Chain A
Amino acid sequence: GENVEQHPSTLSVQEGDSAVIKCTYSDSASNYFPWYKQELGKRPQLIIDIRSNVGEKKDQRIAVTLNKTAKHFSLHITETQPEDSAVYFCAAFESGAGSYQLTFGKGTKLSVIP
């Protein structure tokens, strides 16, 4: 099965700085890579995603890059704000033969210091 490694587990940045979270996956059959943000006590919510046929995607201050050859993908948040503080999860999705499985990384707790 798929194995997703996520680093770092915690990350503190000053407001206005950039934050980068990195993930690697093991199964080359995975073809969809979402990122979820989970605020304290709330549900995970999708913030950005990327498919295996795309190398980079950007949405305002958030961007994701994917290197299929190396099997790693990264989340980049620029001009961080206190409301960006949350736990971020990367995930890899594998579908086929009746299986729809999203495997999550262990999460990165991001703290943005005002």
Chain B
Amino acid sequence: DTAVSQTPKYLVTQMGNDKSIKCEQNLGHDTMYWYKQDSKKFLKIMFSYNNKELIINETVPNRFSPKSPDKAHLNLHINSLELGDSAVYFCASSQGGLTGTETQYFGPGTRLLVL
């Protein structure tokens, strides 16, 4: 199932480093998302991005910056990594739009461990 793919699958890094996670979808969807799933398995949206607008969740530190080179990609860049950033990060996409389906398809996740 390669509809939504993420790289890398695992990422182990030192505190203070800068890292990026890449996401690609081949579903032709207009909207993409980043979620963070913490150790308690709570899934929380970080960003949603559609063709026209990037919507930033206010609770996300500005060390996190999404970048979308085109409609099929939404990468997540994290600066100055902290221990609390350790989590699984899921990318997702949906068709979006007022008449589109809101069903979201998730990527396989990137397991980030900050040491």
Say if A and B assemble together. Answer: yes
- A-B contacts at CB below 8 angstroms, number: 59
**Interface of chain A: mostly helix, strand, loop or mixed:** strand
CB distance from A21 to the nearest CB of B (A): 14
Number of B interface residues at 8 Å Cβ cutoff, please give it. 25
- How long is the Cα–Cα vector from A103 to B90 in the complex, in angstroms? 14
Give the one of B43, B104, B106, B109 with max A CB within 10 A: B43
Give chain B interface residues in 86-115, CB to chain A under 8 Å: 90, 94, 96, 98, 102-109
CB contacts under 8 Å to B, within A56-84, are none
Which bracket fits the contact residues of A? Answer: 20 to 34
Q: Write out the residue numbers on chain A whose beta carbons fall within 8 Å of the beta carbon of B48.
A: 99-101
Please report A residues at the B interface, Cβ cutoff 8 Å.
32, 34, 36, 38, 42-46, 49, 87, 89, 93, 95, 98-104, 106-107, 109
6 A-B pairs in the complex with CB atoms less than 8 angstroms apart: A44-B43, A95-B98, A101-B55, A102-B33, A104-B42, A104-B44
